Amino acid sequence: YIFLVKLVMNTETTRVLSAMRPNGRLHLGHYLGVLQNWQQIQYQYKCFFMLADIHGLINNYHASQQLNETMHEMVIDWLAAGVDPSQATIFIQSRVPEHFELANLLGVITPLGWLERVPSYKDALDELEHTDGNTYGLLGSPLLQSADILLYNSHYVITGEEQAANIELTREIARRFNHLFGREDGFEEKASASIKKLGIKKAALYAKLLIKYQQEGNDEALATARYLLQDALNLSHGDRERLFAFLENKGKVFLQEPHILTGNSTRIIGTDGTQMSIARNNTINIRDEPEVVSSKIRGMITDPARVKRSDRGTPSSCPVWRLHQIYSTQEVSNWVEMGCLSAGIGCLDCKQPLIDAINLQQHELIEKAKPYQEDSTLVKRILSDGCGRAREIASTNLKSIKQAMNIDY
């Protein structure tokens, strides 16, 4: 996968977070586009896979009754796809209450305009006009997402391209926090570079005042140094803020600015010929039984030019062909192309090897899911173990964040 190349940091300490909103059964698009990535990356990095139940609620609080069941099935799908709870931490957002706490703390410093400008919020608003869905939760949803990410000091977030703006917001919030309360990465080096910009004389004076304040606790030295910085016209805003912070030796933490990993963006076609998605109700779900797969594929639309069996078709204008390209061998693909172009095969003939290939994959998933389906306490145990592990890290990190914000009393 392309994104693995980008990960050049120490694998043991590189933290990767990914999450899914529980809003229905997972389908083959999730399997090929997300879960296979998770399965691979969990052995290389410290991975956190989160069930974003509160984001699910925010999106549709009328469906709260389905949440528990949806999440249970979702975890079974993850496990069936090879997510390994001894490698990765699987947890539920709301069972780590530190997420809410951090979201509120970050809310203190997040300008309202930043949230109002998030594209997903603006899009949602257009759709939600005159409904009861335009909630405070919806506006705060990217802020909660930022908390999800920053709470674990995640280096990378695996998510879809459509989330890029949200990750950018997370970076901005982290930067703002660091600027206000914390310390940037490489702070010392950057501070000494900023000091140089003061010019030789002022730099020497700043250094003297710094020592006087930090070592002797001389408040007058602090005031003079502040005045000096205020007055130094050749400092950029950023340099000045940094040197203010450096004076007071502020902050013990800095929040990691996460990078987005979009993974492989396999777009899989659904049974109606448009992209497979829960909303379009055109999915083949992970662990669908063989008969279900068969009837869904058999009912799939084909090249509209092939009305009668004797009509020739063109694979490139047929959604079934798009699935063949993912699931079939070169040999089968050749057979499809020839048979379709010459009307040598019928569409049902064409669909059969595809049905078989998908069912082969499903068979493995169904088998792997069986123990978890038979004994639901297994999933419960995996979750309570994962939530415990997540919470331990979350509470340690939150503690130092609160320290930096001077509310650790």
The binding site for ligand SF4 (CB under 6 A) comprises: 302-303, 306, 313, 315, 318, 320-321, 336, 340, 345, 347, 350-351
Contact region with ligand TRP (CB under 6 A), list: 38-46, 141-149, 355-363, 379-387: 141-149
C-beta of 41: minimal distance to ligand TRP in Å? 14
Interaction of residue 293 with ligand TRP, rule CB under 6 A? no
Token couple for 262 = 């979009």
Using rule CB under 6 A, residue 19 touches ligand TRP: yes
Minimum separation from the CB atom of position 343 to ligand SF4 (A): 8
Q: Does 55 bind ligand TRP (CB under 6 A)?
A: yes
52 binds, among ligand TRP, ligand SF4, none (CB under 5 to 8 A by kind): ligand TRP
Q: Which is nearer to ligand SF4, 96 or 268 (CB)?
A: 268
Q: How far is CA 368 from CA 82, 84, 191, 233, 325, in A?
A: 8, 12, 54, 66, 26
Q: Which is nearer to ligand SF4, 182 or 319 (CB)?
A: 319
Closer residue to ligand TRP in complex, CB, 146/302 = 146
Candidates 4-12, 142-150, 223-231, 279-287 — which segment interacts with ligand TRP by CB under 6 A? Answer: 142-150
Q: Which is nearer to ligand SF4, 278 or 345 (CB)?
A: 345
Assess 98 for contact with ligand TRP (CB under 6 A): no
Burial class (CB in 10 A: 0-12, 13-18, 19+), 51: buried
Q: Cβ closer to ligand SF4: 72 or 306?
A: 306
Which of ligand SF4, ligand TRP, none does residue 159 bind (CB under 5 to 8 Å by kind)?
Answer: ligand TRP
Our CB check for ligand TRP shows the closer of 91 and 254 to be 91
| 52 near ligand TRP, rule: CB under 6 A | yes
What φ, ψ does residue 285 adopt, rounded to 5°?
-85, 150
